Structure 1
Amino acid sequence: MRPWTFPVSLDPGSAEPLFLQIARRIAADIGRGRLRPGAVLPGSRTLAKTLGVHRNTVLAAYDELEAEGWLSSAERSTRVSAALPPRPRGVAAPRGELGYDLPARPAWRTFAPDPARRGVLHFGAGLPDLRLAPADELARAYRAAARAGGRTALGYSDPRGDVHLRRALASLLRETRGLACDEDHLLVTAGSQGAIDLVARRLLGPGDAVAVEDPGYPPAWDALASTGAELLPVGVDGDGLRVDALEALAARRRVRLLYLTPHHQFPTTVTLSTARRLQLLDVARARRIAVLEDDYDFEFHYDGRPVLPLAATDMGAVIYVGTLSKILAPGLRLGWVAGPRPLVEALAAQRMRADRHGSPALERAVAALIEDGLLSRHARKMRRVYEARRNALAEALRAELGGAAELAVPAGGMSLWVSFPEGVDAEVAARAAPRHGVGFYPGARFSFRGGEARAARLGFASLDERELREATRRLCAALRARPDIQRGRTTL
């Protein structure tokens, strides 16, 4: 790493000698953590040239700092000492303490990826297998887009997103999901989370009532609640969201927005039934409730035909959110919002106040992958792979647990929802599981009120079949190691 140049601010009119000014500025930067122990300082000639002073002035400053214990000299280099003196008075602590009030915000139990631990197999909550991502094809497409796009690919762009990607997405949504849309009905976002956050900031304000599924998706709750809106949980059963409970809630409160995952409900994986879908749209229209539909893994449906989105029936009442993260990779941060033109224009104006736009070159590259058919071919390949993994995990759980756990093999998605026997606290087991070489997310992480103590969401897409069988064996070992199981309160 090249040594820093450190443009010290000097005051030639000060009574303090220049060498002491330099020494005090460097000591202050060490004290506040900008310069770390062992950091190499520039040579005296280099720093003298940068500051416009004589080299002897810099040498005198270095000598002063070394005498005080801030610096140490070795052959051909001057470094920040590993054994530092106390911080000078008036110098902020390393990385600083808050000098202002930080307003409190609701904090939900999240399931951010756990730090990677050597030897631990983590089921996850439904991530794709990044080992199978089409990285080479994406890299080639990106290089081609950057070269061909010139200034337009590397400069400012439309806040709605690159027009080529919006056209490609509109075609995909018309052909595969039944949406009546074109590029003017779409806005490209930083993943589905970015889409949810953008919609929340544009539509919601303090005190607005927002209905959410319980159990549900905590990152979306965070985005919605950050606007000051009040979140109200609505229960989920084997047919999806309980629309009767939503209707009763809407009779008592003015519900501004409903957030839901009707295709493969997160986390239980159930699909909203046809009758409830029709009932939900009637309630939304009658009560003027904006329906925020998160269709996060539409591509991965294995049994029968996938159910079309709510937005395919009524895009006037439904704001449709989707993502390419599950097909390609989460790190690309590419999602979208689909809705009527006035909504898209309002969201674009909202976006201009924040991050302005996304990455034109990346968006153009992904558009090329869609237009060339690579994305659809990759999705078909992943469907076969993930279906085999779904079946492998279900078989492994049945072999290890027998009838001690309840699980319904979902028609689609990237995870299983498992209910363990009475006496098993999945939250406690999840904390102990890494000692057995496995990780998983307990159901309580997705519960609005802290329920679902016996449940867990086990992702199967990111592990291969051999890894899934081994992870299941380790999971069951962790469950059997629980003290209440050893006492005979339940059987696994």
Structure 2
Amino acid sequence: MREPLALEIDPGHGGPLFLTIAEAITLDITRGRLRPGARLPGTRALARALGVHRNTVDAAYQELLTQGWLQAEPARGTFVAQDLPQGMLVRRPAPAPVEPVAMRAGLAFSDGAPDPELVPDKALARAFRRALLSPAFRAGADYGDARGTSSLREALAAYLASDRGVVADPARLLIARGSQMALFLAARAALAPGEAIAVEEPGYPLAWEAFRAAGAEVRGVPVDGGGLRIDALEAALSRDPCLRAVYVTPHHQYPTTVTMGAARRLQLLELAERHGLALIEDDYDHEYRFEGRPVLPLAARAPEGLPLIYVGSLSKLLSPGIRLGYALAPERLLTRMAAARAAIDRQGDAPLEAALAELIRDGDLGRHARKARRVYRARRDLLAERLTAQLAGRAAFDLPAGGLALWLRCTGVSAETWAEAAGQAGLALLPGTRFALESPAPQAFRLGYAALDEGQIARAVEILARSFPG
């Protein structure tokens, strides 16, 4: 797309302007004006056309890259994602953001996106070039399998076994264009149309959209300081015969960041086995554990025969623009997932998959993960220090043992009102309304800090403190 993109933006409609722009682009995708593969204008050109700061447009693009609506291609530009499930391309509003307010800058706490500046770009570029020049790629060998290239599936299987204690047969792994596609395919395989899936509340709205697009009903189950409440799930099962699956983020619950303890994990596995439930485990940020012993996924402890689909992402480890997720599933479910994937996207990005397989085998990905953990832990600690110093008595948080976000609970004020004031001052926030399904929204913010450097974190907390209502 060479010409500036004409978007209908109402600056007075409320909330962060970058989210208003992201919503407008999403709407144009769902109504078919922007087709899969369509090229978007550069951030500078669109900012000029809309009369906003370039950082604001960049923040909107990053939000949509994180959500999977867009994909970035080095040296080419930003495009509408090719792999959007057909069920998403309808007139359905995106998960409701904060009531929009005009912003004067592009500073934003994300939902937990990594810092693309840390990507091992030189190692990735070398591996990508070798993949493009390899005889196998030129001959077309090993390409066309809907599960993904065997090289990456084999490398991932070894990685999951050594890093997470998950025994993974490469034949039971499927590579997807991001975890969003993997969640959609998992729901298509595990649920019949009209059946219901239990999800955490507050929880991950984009997973809910993927499940709905696959034809499933979504039921909220509350979380507490230990993650998904097993007693509430059992009560939901007793009154809803359509409930056939459960979606969980046990490592760092999204959005609250709490870790599900060992006892509750065992209770969940026992309950799933007793009721014949499918489990979809989203281990979206496993690499980012800063303290304490490693916590193994449910997939590492699941009883033989339990229909558990384990979903992970390489995008969180590298960059939102690198759209690679994966799923590990029993053969019966994986066969269904591969068939559904072939119907919407015959195969993945073979050169990129081959390049990432090389990064895993050569240890470059592991070295990057160790470096990223050091950087993100320092940023987490700085954010915690600044919040404690400047927001004592006005907000509270529990320091998460890992992950790329912090859950900040408001004290005596509306999170939405605070978000509006911060948006006017130049800081975009994600309040609890973004993560509520049916229950009242929590008065809290998810502060994704990883993509902010030290100076940006300090400025963001200053704006947060200055914009406190009252």
Counterpart residue identity of residue 436, structure 1: A
What residue is the counterpart of 1:477 in the other structure? 466
Change (3 A) 1:453 1:276: closer
Task: Say which of 409, 415, 418 aligns to 2:399.
Answer: 409
CA contact (8 A) 1:325 1:333 kept: yes
**Cross-structure match for 2:173:** 186
The 2-side partners of 1:175 and 1:309 are apart by: 13
Contact 1:323 1:335 in 2 (8 A): yes
Match of 1:366 in 2: 356
- Equivalent residues of 1:154, 1:361 under 8 A apart: no
Q: Distance in 2 between matches of 1:199 and 1:238?
A: 27
Q: Is the deviation greater in 242-251 or in 371-380?
A: 242-251
Cα distance in structure 1, aligned partners of 2:281 and 2:198: 12
Alpha carbons of structure 1 residues 394 and 154: separation in structure 2 relative to 1, 3 Å: farther
The match for 2:456 among 467, 476, 483 is: 467
* 1:166 and 2:161 aligned: no
Q: Determine the structure 2 residue equivalent to 1:196.
A: 183
User: What amino acid sits opposite 2:248 in the alignment?
Assistant: L
Partner of residue 268, structure 2: 280
How many pairs align? 380
Which structure ranks higher in relative contact order (CA pairs < 8 Å, sequence separation ≥ 6)? 2
> What's the CA shift for 1:472?
0.4
**What are the Cα deviations for residues 400-419 of structure 1, in whole angstroms up to 9, with x where unaligned?**
01132110000010000011
The Cα shift of 1:201 comes to 2.2
Partner SS, residue 214 of structure 2: coil
Corresponding residue of 2:368: 378
Residue 52 of structure 1 corresponds to: none
Contact 2:198 2:218 in 1 (8 A): yes
| Superposition pairs of residues 414-433 of structure 1, within 5 angstroms | 414-422=404-412, 424-433=413-422
Equivalent position to 1:249, from 220, 224, 236: 236
Opposite residue 306 of structure 1, the aligned amino acid is: P
Alignment of 1:448-467 (within 5 A): 448-449=437-438, 451-467=440-456
1:317-356 → structure 2 map (5 Å cutoff): 317=306, 318-356=308-346
Q: Please list every run of at least 4 consecutive aligned residues from structure 1 whose deviation after the TM superposition is greater than 6 angstroms.
A: 114-118
CA distance in 2, matches of 1:417, 1:360: 37
Distance 1:434 1:332 in 2: 29
Displacement of 1:103 in angstroms is: 6.7
Summarize deviations over 1:440-487 as a string: whole Å, max 9, x none.
1001110112633420000111111221111100111122xx3xx1xx
Q: Quick one: distance in 1 between partners of 2:195 and 2:376?
A: 39
Is the 2:97–2:433 Cα contact (8 Å) retained in structure 1?
no
Unaligned segments of structure 2, at least 5 residues: 3-32, 34-88
Equivalent runs, 1:62-461 vs 2, <5 Å: 105=92, 107-109=94-96, 119-148=105-134, 149-152=136-139, 156-254=143-241, 255-314=243-302, 316-317=305-306, 318-422=308-412, 424-449=413-438, 451-461=440-450
CA distance in 1, matches of 2:210, 2:453: 32
Post-superposition Cα deviations, 1:60-91, rounded to whole Å, max 9, x if no partner, equal xxxxxxxxxxxxxxxxxxxxxxxxxxxxxxxx
Identity across matched positions, percent: 49
- Distance in 1 of aligned mates of 2:181 and 2:224: 28
Deviation at 1:117, TM superposition (A): 7.1
8 Å CA contact retained: 1:444, 1:450: no
Gaps of 5+ in 1: 3-32, 34-101, 486-492
How far apart in 2 are the matches of 1:452 and 1:384?
Answer: 33
- Contact kept in structure 1, 2:312 and 2:325, CA below 8 Å: yes
The amino acid across from 1:427 in the alignment is E
Residue identity opposite 1:456 in structure 2: F
Amino acid at match of 2:462: R
Q: Evaluate the alpha carbon distance shift between residue 304 and residue 425 of structure 1 in structure 2; reply closer, same or farther with a 3 A threshold.
A: same
Hey, what's the Cα distance between the residues in 1 that align with 2:348 and 2:292? Answer: 36
Residues 110/192 of structure 1: CA separation in 2 closer, same or farther (3 Å cut): farther
User: Is the 8 Å Cα contact of residues 393 and 411 (structure 2) preserved in structure 1?
Assistant: no
**Distance of 1:150 and 1:203 partners within structure 2:** 33
Q: Summarize the Cα distance change of 1:155–1:291 in structure 2 as closer, same or farther, 3 Å threshold.
A: closer
CA distance in 2, matches of 1:450, 1:108: 15
SS class of match (2:256) = coil
**Per-residue deviation at 1:330?**
1.4
In structure 2, give the amino acid aligned to 1:337.
A
SS of 2:252's equivalent?
A: coil
Q: Which segment is superposed worse, 424-433 or 250-259? A: 424-433
Using the TM superposition, give the Cα deviation of residue 434 of structure 1 relative to its aligned residue in structure 2, in angstroms: 2.7
SS in 1 for 2:344: coil
Q: Render the CA deviation track for 1:124-157: whole Å, top value 9, x for unaligned.
A: 1101011111122211111110101333569952
Cα contact 2:189–2:334 (8 A) shared by 1: no
Structure of greater Rg: 1
Matched residues in 1 for 2:201 and 2:224: separation?
10
Q: Deviations over 1:355-378 (max 9, x none)?
A: 011011110000000111000000
Residue 276 of structure 2 aligns to which amino acid in structure 1?
Answer: R
Query: Alpha-carbon deviation of 1:203?
Result: 2.6
Indicate if the aligned counterparts of 1:105 and 1:226 stay in contact, CA closer than 8 A: no
TM superposition score normalised by structure 1: 0.73
Letter in 1 for 2:170: E
Larger mean CA deviation between 152-161 and 239-248 belongs to 152-161
- Structure 1 residues 154, 127: closer, same or farther in 2, change over 3 A? farther
Cα distance, 1:403–1:115 mapped onto 2, change above 3 Å: closer
User: Residues 470 and 329 of structure 1: is their aligned pair in 2 closer, same or farther, counting only changes over 3 Å?
Assistant: same
TM normalised by structure 2 equals 0.77
C-alpha displacement of 1:107: 4.9
Structure 2 residue matching 1:331: 3-state secondary structure: coil
